[in-house]
Structure 1
Amino acid sequence: MTTSADAPLAEATRTPWARRALPWALTAALLAGAWVVNAVALPDSAPEAPFVTATTVGGTATAGNLTAKVTDVRAARSITDPRGWTAEGSWLVVELDAEAVDSQYGSLLGVAELTIDDRTFRATERGQTMFRTGALVPGVMRHGAVAFELPADALKGTAVLRLANASTVADNGVIELLIDLAAIPVENAVNLPETGWADR
C-alpha cells in the first residue's frame, strides 16, 4: 500500500518517462496528420484546372460566360473564307453557334484548341473565322467557324476540342467535345461560313 509519503517518490519515478514519451507521441501524431493531408491534397496544377462542360455535336453547352453549340465538323485539303482567302493543307473545320451568357466584356472566343494524343493545336488566325474576332453578345447567337491547320498524319484517332471565352480559363470553365477523326471524310475543299448572326 502506498502512503501519502510515498506519493512524491512515485510521481518522480513516472515523470521522466512521461516527459520522454510525450514528444514522440506528438511527433507521430503530426507525421500521421501530414501524411493524410498529403494523400488527399490536390496536385499543384489543380487550382489552374478549369471546370469542364462536355458536349456533343448539335448539343448546347455553357461554361463560364460562353454558351456554344457545335453544328458541324469537317475535314478538308483546302479551305476558303467568305472574302476569297484560300489555304491548302490538312484542315479541320468546326462550325458553331456561340453567345455570351451574362456579359459582353471579355467575351471573345479566345480559346479554341484541339488536342490529339499529346499534341495541342490552336485555331488559325488566318482567314475570316470566329476565333478572337468580335465580342459575343448575351442572348444573341453568332454563327461561324474555327479552323485548325494540322499535320498530314494528324487526322486519325480521337481529338478533344476545347472552347472558352478567355485566355485564362481556370475561373471560367471550358467546353469540351470529343471528335472521332477517323469518322470524318476528308473533302477536297470546304468553304468557311461567314461570321454573323445565327438563324434561330
Structure 2
Amino acid sequence: EIFSFDKEIFKNHPVHLSRLNSVAGSGVDGSLVEGHEIVSSRSSASSLLNNSVNIMNSYIEEVSTIREIIQKILKRYLRKNNWSVNKDMPLSLDNPGWIGDTLCLIALSLNGITKETLLRILRRRGYDGNLKITELFWNIFRIQFGNFLQEGFNGVILFSHVYFKEAVQALLLEREERGIAEEKKGRVEEKNVY
C-alpha cells in the first residue's frame, strides 16, 4: 500500500502532512499527492533516508518543493558519507567528493552511463590508489541510493525520477555553471579595464 509509510510518519503530524501536500502540489500534473507519494515511496525503500521520519520533520517546514527536500537530504548525505581527492578543501558543494562527482556524471549523461565508465572516469579524476572506489564502496553507494537510480538491461545507470535528477542538477551542476559564468564575466571585465 503506497500510503502505509505516509500514515506511519504523519499520523501524529497532520500539519506536516498538509505542508507536504502543498509542496507536492508543485508536481508535474498539479496532484496534491504526487510528490508526496514519490518522496515517501522512495524514502520507505531507500536507506539513503535513514531515520527518514526525523529528516522529513526537520526539513518539511523549510522547503517549498520536493526538489528542495531532496537537495537538503543530498547535502546532508554528501557531508557525512563521502571523501574527495582534493584533501586541501573540506567537503562542500564546491568539493562534492566521489559521490557528488558520480551523481553529476549520471546527470550529465544523456542516456545513462555504465558503472565501468563511471569508475574509469573517477579513476582519471584521481580516485585511485588509497582513494579508489572499490566494489564494497560502489555497492554501498548503490544500496544507499537504491530507488533513486535505475539500471537498464544493458548496464546503463540513470535517475529513476525527474525530481531527483533536477535536485542533483540544481544542487551540484547549476552552482558550478554559475561559478564558471561569473569567472568568465570577471575576466571580460578585467580585460576591458586594460
TM range (shorter): under 0.3
| Bigger proportion of residues as helix | 2
Q: Give the number of the structure whose alpha-carbon radius of gyration is greater.
A: 1
